[in-house]
Amino acid sequence: MTQYLLSVHSVDGQAGEPMTGEQMRQSYQQVMALQAEMKSAGAWVFGGRLHEPGTATVVRMSGGEMLTTDGPFAESREHLGGFYIVAAEDLDAALGWASKTSAIIGAPIEVRPFQDEPGA
Amino acid sequence: MGGTGAAPRPGEAEVGRIFREESGRSVAALIRVFGDIDVAEDAVQEAFAIAASKWPGDGLPPNPGGWITTTARNRAIDRLRRESRGRELLSEVAVLSPGTSDPRIPEEAGPVEDDRLRLIFTCCHPALSTDAQVALTLRLLGGLSTGEVARSFLVTEQTMAVRLVRAKRKIKAARIPYRVPGDHELPGRLRPVLAVVYLIYTAGLASPAEPGLCPEAIRLARILAALMPDEPEVAGLLALLLLTESRRASRTRPDGSLVLLAEQDRRRWDRALIEEGQAIVRRCLHRNQPGAYQIQAAINAVHADAATAAQTDWPQIAALYDQLLTVAPTPVVALNRAIAIGEVQGPAAALTLADELDLDNYHLFHATRADLLHRLGRHSEATAAYQRAAGMAPTPAERDFLRLGGRASR
């Protein structure tokens, strides 16, 4: 099994119409159902939604000193909105989970393999 | 030519021919056994190097392809045993090929009928770019060298080497599967496979300097048709390529300039290819599951039926373009339909249809308009359209043809 990062990239200003309460409830239920499906298929490793990039902090070592900066690593209109990590037999299986997720959240998903196999 | 031994002694050209024919099969079989493209490629190269030095003296083995696959398998195992990473890979092989008696040694390395089919679906996986799909297919299934693949697509050998390495790395890292897709995913997965084979053929047509690409595409289409006899579009693609190929020799003059279909010497068309292509088209019609390749093949079959350009059954071709436009509603198809309708109803009707199309960046759009305007006697507009077309033509032969107002010098 290989682990894949399924990441959702949001673009500022492309959020579209805000969802109604009912739409949010429906979307939440669909996401929960998909996560349950991932778990029962043994594909689920981890996943979650992130707060907006303004809540990020970057730390870096500089001249032996730890520097902390407020805000995301890269100032950009595109940022990571959330992700899943799934374990899958091959790329086709990972793409299958990605298309299900994309269909629910209505956003493109990048699928990228992790280097190490679990336990290797 | 030694005539005394029982086995024929092949020359260099013959070994080269066998390499072209057999290397794809051997590479595919070894990828299945070792689960690693580089290991398979290197081992098959090595086996052919041995063959090139052995066969001219010893004669051909009874089954050259089987000999290559077995020799390559043994070489790969020897090499992998010497390397620690290789030993890991060999133990993984046990997982990949269950059913071998000694898990460390993959015994069964003979080709399985659909190994090459698995490989072409891997090479043409939709997660790879079209450029990468074409390059991998020519390299792994066609046995072309990196340099040959590079020359076919007018890029430097280094660019092509980087493209191939990157694509193979992605296959391995992302675990692009090595298998024939199941029925439910087959239509979507077959599309890029057929597109790649078609692209290889048209690249051969566009670059007379690499004439090997056209027969290579036909060879690939034949393999696909033999391995997927129930897929009508696979048959359609093969028929389309055979019928196009039947005219290849007559579509250019010795100086490389193009000859219009209507002006080609039809006695030079290859009758054997036409008959084979038309027989496939008839089977497709009988099966009645039309698709874009089958309809294009049928259009070519109608052209092939006409002993002279004037005898062409244009109403039939126009009807086929109507059908093609419903399955492949693209502006280029609409343009070709307009041309066919023009042959039935006259250039004014065709020009009206063409002018509705958004194809301003397509050289053949301007070339078509130029021809129609010329036939309508609107000569200055025709000249301007020819100039625009020539400025956009992708190959020198097409550019020269259009500069001359679509009438090459004879």
For chain A, residues with pLDDT lower than 70 are 13-16, 117-120
The chain A residue lying nearest B173, using CA atoms, is A113
Dihedral Cα B356, B361, B364, B368, nearest 10 deg: 40
Kindly state the percentage of chain B with pLDDT values over 90: 66
Per-residue model confidence (pLDDT) at position B163: 95
Give the mean model confidence (pLDDT) for residues B293-301. 97
CATH topology for B330-410 is 1.25.40
Burial of B308 (0-12, 13-18, 19+ CB in 10 A): exposed
- CA B347 to chain CA centroid, Å, is 34
Per-residue model confidence (pLDDT) at position B409: 38
Structure tokens at B50: 């041995």
Is A117 at the interface with chain B, CB within 8 A?
no
- B177/A90 CB distance under 8 A: yes
CATH architecture of B1-99: Orthogonal Bundle (1.10)
Q: Per-residue DSSP letters for B343-389?
A: HHH-HHHHHHHHHTS--TT-HHHHHHHHHHHHHTT-HHHHHHHHHHH
pLDDT tens figures, A81-98:
899 999 999 999 999 999
Q: Is the pLDDT of residue B135 over 80?
A: yes
Q: Is the pLDDT of residue B408 over 50?
A: no
Is residue A45 included in any domain, yes or no?
A: yes
- Say if residues B194 and B233 touch (Cβ distance below 8 Å): yes
Is A110 at the interface with chain B, CB within 8 A?
no
Segment 187-246 of chain B within 8 Å of chain A by CB: none
Non-local CB neighbours of A34 within 8 Å, separated by 6+ positions = A100, A101, A104
| Location of each CATH 1.25.40 domain in chain B | 330-410
Is A115 at the interface with chain B, CB within 8 A?
yes
pLDDT tens figures, B58-108:
999 999 999 999 999 999 999 888 887 777 777 766 544 444 444 344 444
Per-residue model confidence (pLDDT) at position B170: 94
Is residue A74 included in any domain, yes or no?
A: yes
| Location of each CATH 1.10.1740 domain in chain B | 1-99
Structural domains of chain A, count: 1
* Range in B259-263, B318-322, B397-401 with the lowest mean pLDDT: B397-401
| Of A89, A91, A115, Cβ closest to residue B127 | A91
pLDDT tens figures, A47-62:
998 998 888 999 999 8
SS3 per residue for chain A:
CEEEEEEEEEECCCCCCCCCHHHHHHHHHHHHHHHHHHHHCCCEEEEEECCCHHHCEEEEEECCEEEEEECCCCCCCEEEEEEEEEEECCHHHHHHHHHHHHHHHCCCEEEEECCCCCCC
**Average pLDDT, whole number, for chain B?**
88
- B173/A113 CB distance under 8 A: yes
- What is the count of residue pairs from A and B with beta carbons less than 8 Å apart? 27
Per-residue model confidence (pLDDT) at position A91: 96
List A69's β-bridge partners, or say none.
Answer: A58
- B176/A89 CB distance under 8 A: no
Model confidence band, residue B112 (pLDDT cutoffs 50, 70, 90): low
Instruction: Tell me the shortest Cα–Cα distance from A18 to chain B, in angstroms.
Output: 33
Domain of residue A59: give its range. 2-12+21-113
Instruction: Tell me the shortest Cα–Cα distance from B176 to chain A, in angstroms.
Output: 5
Distance set, CA B158 to CA A93, B131, B149, B353 (Å): 33, 15, 11, 45
Q: Residue A27 belongs to a domain with what CATH number?
A: 3.30.70.1060
- Say if residues B223 and B234 touch (Cβ distance below 8 Å): no
Q: Is the pLDDT of residue B398 over 50?
A: yes
Per-residue model confidence (pLDDT) at position A7: 96
Per-residue model confidence (pLDDT) at position B97: 47
Segment 82-101 of chain A within 8 Å of chain B by CB: 88-92, 94-95
Q: Is the pLDDT of residue B389 over 80?
A: yes
